[in-house]
Amino acid sequence: MCKVIKNCVFCDFPDTVDFSELQGTTVCPNYLAKLETFRPLPVNRLRNVENLQECLKSLTDKTDNSNAHINQIKIEIEALQIALACKLEHLEMAKKENVAEQVILHALALLPANAKKLATWICKNASWIASLNTLTRCPGDCARVESDCLFRCQENNYGLFAANKDYMEVNFGTDVAEYSFAFDFAGHDFETACSVGFEGEYYIIGGIKNFQRVSKVSDCGLSQVDFMYQAFYEHRCTNWNGAIHICGSAVDAGACWRYVPGQSQTTIARSMYGHSEGGLLVYGDYLLRIAGYTEKTEAYAVGDQFWSDFNADLPFVLSQFATLVFGQSIFIFGGYSGATFETENAILRYDDSMRKWDQVGEMAHKRRNFAVVQEENFVYIAGGEDFNLPFEVFDTETFETSTLESMSQNFYYAQIIPEEFLNCLVRE
């Protein structure tokens, strides 16, 4: 929302910021202390310092304007001065040592979280650093968790787990992966289990060999924290409405549970279809059960007594796929087709405006019982029931898929756990 006071425009950030009007400037580490004072810029464009000073004078000459607006302009003036100094500094460094890219990445890595979107746009559009035109990949020499790594890559460390108790430390952004024996599974096998983050913790629930066990990821291993009343394997789980929701165990494919670790385990309404080895995700206000030995999609909302038909049937019966939500779209990757009785590599997207599924791309390799994780508009794909499957990355904007160099060997029933829950990733 924007408003005009004495010919000065004030807007909320970031939803109404017109990025197309921002100037091609950047920030650098020497001025980051000052940068902390303006998180973030609360105006709709970066104007030049002279115009801002005129605007400031117009406001200070009046007594009916709040100090907040005056402070906003003072902050923006300082920010522009910082940006100008940084741009000149980068130009000199680029001429002397050709290290402008690394310096920009270092600045981005240290920015306050709510300034990253602004800074990323600025760097992408700086006329003097064309090599950063897309910022889709990390620099090749960026170590796994070094301080001068681009923030997106720095936050792109994961643990990749398999049913056979294999464990890899992975950074998809830098395309680095290595096996590790550091993780202590503590007897909990990941085969047909589900994993979910909830209230700052990460849980592994059930599995064919530990079907009532609940383990929590702690440091570099698992510790048992609870015991389920129901046997759970080949099920799905997600975090919704203040609890973990679990649906579709092979013991009772139509049953769904609301679970708060250490506190409660209660059933909710049964779905009309079993959806065994299908999808379970949050979409808007709804909890959705998708496919799984059926082509049906069902929805459940807070306060509902029954599941309802979502009127978005898949084009064929599908199970053992991976799925995620990006914006208003739902993506389904691969799986096992009930039409062809073969493993698939198709990528399907549900468009809410059309209320139907369309194939928008393909993975390079057919996969089932694998894992995906999203970073910005990229979806990283890992694991599956086959040997030597390379990791892949799918762009949700262009619908293009690329194969990475790193790979895993037979990581079936794969689970991906973010770095913040693990304390055993390599940091050399």
Tell whether 107 and 199 lie within a shared domain: no
Same domain, 342 and 258: no
78/50 Cα distance (integer angstroms):
12
Residues 6+ apart with CB under 8 A from 218: none
* Residue 111 sits in the same domain as residue 260: no
Structural domain contains residue 132: no
Region for 199 from its dihedrals, namely left if φ exceeds 0, alpha if ψ lies in -120 to 50, beta otherwise: left
Q: Are residues 246 and 319 in the same domain?
A: no
**Do 32 and 76 belong together in one domain?**
yes
User: Maximum CA pair distance of the chain?
Assistant: 76
**Dihedral angle sign, alpha carbons of residues 334, 240, 413, 405:** positive
Number of domains forming the structure of the chain:
3
109 with 195, same domain: the answer is: no
Q: Are 205 and 265 in contact (CB under 8 A)?
A: no
pLDDT value of position 132? 32
Q: Do the bridges between strand 308-309 and strand 318-319 make them parallel or antiparallel, or are there none, so unpaired? A: unpaired
Is residue 262, in this structure, part of any structural domain at all? yes
> Angle 32-36-38 (CA atoms, 0-180°, nearest 5)?
120
96 and 197 share a domain? no
Looking at the fold, whether 100 and 164 belong to one and the same domain comes out as: no
Mark which of 274, 289, 304 sits at the end of a domain: 289
Domain of residue 269, residue span? 183-289
Query: Which DSSP string do the residues of 54-94 spell out, in sequence order?
Result: HHHHHHHT-SSS-HHHHHHHHHHHHHHHHHHHHHHHHHHHH
Q: Is the same domain home to 26 and 46?
A: yes
Which pTM value belongs to this model? 0.67
Of 272, 289, 306, at which residue does a domain stop? Answer: 289
- HSE toward the beta carbon, residue 324, CA cutoff 13 A: 17
pLDDT for res 76: 53
Q: At what angle do helices 100-110 and 116-124 cross, to 10 degrees?
A: 170
Residue 389 lies in a domain: yes
Q: Are residues 103 and 164 in the same domain?
A: no
**Of the candidates 368, 382, 271, the residue with the CA atom closest to the CA atom of residue 320:** 368
Each residue's pLDDT expressed in tens, for the chain with a length of 428 residues: 334 444 343 433 333 333 333 333 332 222 222 333 332 332 323 334 555 555 556 555 554 445 555 665 565 555 555 444 444 444 454 444 444 444 444 444 433 333 334 444 444 433 323 333 333 334 333 333 333 334 444 456 899 999 878 899 898 877 788 888 889 999 999 999 999 999 999 999 999 999 999 999 988 899 999 999 999 999 999 999 999 999 998 889 999 999 999 999 999 999 999 999 999 999 999 999 999 999 999 999 999 999 999 999 999 999 999 999 998 999 999 999 999 999 999 999 998 888 899 999 999 999 999 999 998 888 999 999 887 899 999 999 899 998 988 888 889 999 999 888 887 754 33
35 within some domain: yes
Give the pLDDT of residue 294: 95
- Model pLDDT, residue 64: 46
Considering the domain architecture, whether residues 176 and 234 belong to the same structural domain is answered as no
User: Is 146 within a domain?
Assistant: no
The confidence score (pLDDT) of residue 71 equals: 62
